[in-house]
Amino acid sequence: MSKQTPKTGPKTGPRTGPRAGAETGRPDPAPAEPAPEAGGPPSVELSRRRLLGTVGAAGATGLVAGGAGGAIGASATQGDAPRALSSLGSTEVAFRPAGARHQAGITTPLQASGHLVAFDLAPGAGRKEAAALLRRWSRTAEELMSGRTSDADTGVALDAGPSSLTVTFGLGHSFFGRTGLTKRRPLQLDPLPDFSADALDPRRSNGDLWIQIGADDALVAFHALRALQKDASGSARLRWQMNGFNRTPGATSHPMTTRNLMGQVDGTNNPKPSDEDFDERIFVGRDSDQEWMRGGSYAVVRRIRMLLDAWEKRSLHEQEKVIGRRKANGAPLTGGSETTPMRLDATGADGLPVVPANAHARVAAPESNQGAAMLRRPYSFHDGFRDDGAPDAGLLFVCWQADPLRAFTQIQRKLDRGDALSAFLRHESSGLYAVPPAAEAGDYVGRPLLEG
């Protein structure tokens, strides 16, 4: 897989050089910001000293400026020469990743801002309308991921770079009935079973079509959301939409696994593209009876509310027993660092397992699930507060696998039978989507299914 590439060219109009960028192939952690090229012009480097000086000046005068209707915060001095985009804004992810058959947004490193959105085809719309919509969506996604906009654009992201924008498209179980393609619906798309912890809202679950949007800038992500929603007008209706966030790349002194809203390091045991069996676990193989899905993947999406008030009342020791890992660095309770293998057979002086039998990390481990694993790529969410004052917050859980029955369903059934963390979680919505491979050049996502 090729790497994301900083973009320094113009934002509008056609691109004139070779296509930049693709996925890095690393779901965690986010890459460190690249250093400026040696010998390059001084204007290419974003001056930290100058930026901090601007912020300091704004802090001294911002309240006065705000009271007079001025802008508060860092801003460029009038007359300054234009500067190149910072590395955060310039990074581009290719809509058609070089050397990979799958869509962007699966192995792309976690992004700071995300939207998950589902649509249902409009009444009377069928296969022809679905094909036209996916063609429009694919064209728009490719334009936006490259950082290009038009004069007719909303203007939300006119002054931003691509900011690692990714757009990923999926098809729900109901899509195939609506388009007369039930005979080509994969068995892997059969509805997920019910779990005892489920409290699912059908209005925020499933859907004919699903889109995952991610970017390292919130305005760039929102801009993509609006553009794709406008493209759907007349062809599909919004079913549900959720907003998420992660830590911004560069917010830590060195790249590291992200944390969730419980404060836990989240994603330590994720499969890695360097694993010999990574593609076999995550992507549909060439022996699939549904040829149009070869190289694609299946996404399970769950809105999981965290009972943060109850969780935060537990002592650090209790929280670590529930998870099976140290909160400070993600290391297993059996010792070492975050990446040290957990010793599930280790016992303490009392003869009990060091990692409790119902600890989340033990129950979810591949060793406890006949080797089953899935690529987790979630976002945190916070949607205000509930009537009782508790935060409506948690995890927009997204996981990827070649076969949901052998990955998500198998692991979730095990968690359902005895996971200490389940007492602090509520699964409130759910969806399962077939995510076709990336479109070929000049093509659109899903064409082999819809026109094959």
Residues that are catalytic: 266
Instruction: State the SS3 of 111-142.
Output: CCEEEEEEEEECCCCCHHHHHHHHHHHHHHHH
Number of residues that this document lists for the chain:
452
Q: Are 91 and 4 in contact (CB under 8 A)?
A: yes
Residues 6+ apart with CB under 8 A from 411: 364, 369, 372, 374
CA distances from 222 to 116, 144, 168, 332, 355 (A): 11, 11, 15, 38, 42
Handedness of CA 94, 100, 103, 108 (dihedral sign): negative
Q: Does the bond joining 123 to the residue before it have cis omega, within 30 degrees of 0?
A: no
What one-letter code names the amino acid at 139? Answer: R
Radius of gyration of the chain (CA): 23
Token pair of 251, please? 């917010």
DSSP 405: T
Token pair of 333, please? 């309770």
Give the DSSP H or E segment for 71.
Answer: none
Handedness of CA 141, 384, 378, 191 (dihedral sign): negative
Token pair of 159, please? 């002054």
The bridge status of strand 379-385 relative to strand 209-215 is: unpaired
Distance CA 129, CA 122 (A): 9
Q: Are 164 and 157 in contact (CB under 8 A)?
A: no
Q: Are 283 and 296 in contact (CB under 8 A)?
A: yes
Residues 6+ apart with CB under 8 A from 113: 214, 215, 216, 217, 218, 220, 221, 222, 244, 245, 246
Residues 6+ apart with CB under 8 A from 137: 167, 169, 211, 228, 231, 232, 444, 445
